[in-house]
Structure 1
């Protein structure tokens, strides 16, 4: 039995992103897919945009009404917990915000980036953190997936 294809397009519209982050993004998405228990129901495509604070702030204002950059945005194109096939959506990340947060948290940029890719992809699949119960479920799943990737619990004190 052959696995169905998931095409992950990693796009850059800002300078300064390390070259190896493309492979990190792909590995994080595949780990999140596996760890979530979701299964591909057909050929699927996801885009990951590596951008800067200015572009992320513009997207955040346009789509969420918030006038500031944010670390990660997800734009799902499938219904929550729907079959995983077709155009899944887009994930965007802001380099300066990620660098600042990683330093403040005392984490490597690679680990923080991987966490936010996992977080963003779980949003694509339908997970959210609007209430405490959802947040605990999503954070637990993120922690489990990151553990499989050799990354410490991002929510531990």
Structure 2
């Protein structure tokens, strides 16, 4: 398993993004039986950079917490089915915004590490073809996130407290 981490915002270094990414991706791969030969690129940036990316790729010129770009379409044809297995070992790219992550973590009463780990698992699942646009797909994806995070000792992020 390879996670190429690019730090554009130095605050991510202090937050331990590289270690969080390795742990989150390894846990996701292990849970889903993804081959170790698969690779992901992860960029730690700020809100301004992710707003530019969001505008360029989604037509939404606002910051968001995480974006992902799969190397190939893997989504399930039928709502709630498993996505297609990766043919390309280079799964794709993820960008994560420090400012939005820190704000969301504080608002939810979670640690930055726990929230960041959740978002990396979430982005990795997107690279693997999971999505949350349709109801059954969302249920499947959220269940996997909760399961993977639970194995890492992180509470269910979808449980309202």
TM-score, normalising length: structure 2:
0.88
Compute the displacement of 1:7 (Å): 1.5
Match of 1:62 in 2: 56
Contact 1:38 1:84 in 2 (8 A): no
Match of 2:39 in 1: 45
Q: RMSD of aligned C-alpha atoms?
A: 1.4
Match of 1:73 in 2: 67
Match of 1:142 in 2: 145
After TM superposition, the structure 1 = structure 2 runs for residues 72-91 of structure 1, keeping only pairs within 5 Å, are 72-80=66-74, 81-83=84-86, 85-91=88-94
Compute the displacement of 1:43 (Å): 3.0
Compute the displacement of 1:62 (Å): 0.4
Structure having the larger proportion of residues in strand: 1
Aligned length in residues: 150
Match of 1:125 in 2: 128
Compute the displacement of 1:131 (Å): 1.4
Q: Deviations over 1:31-58 (max 9, x none)?
A: 01112x2422x73321010000000000
Structure 2, unpaired ranges of 5+: 75-83
Distance in 1, Cα, partners of 2:87 & 2:125: 12
Compute the displacement of 1:11 (Å): 0.7
Compute the displacement of 1:84 (Å): 5.4
Match of 1:28 in 2: 24
Contact 1:77 1:87 in 2 (8 A): yes
Distance in 1, Cα, partners of 2:7 & 2:45: 6
Contact 2:6 2:43 in 1 (8 A): yes
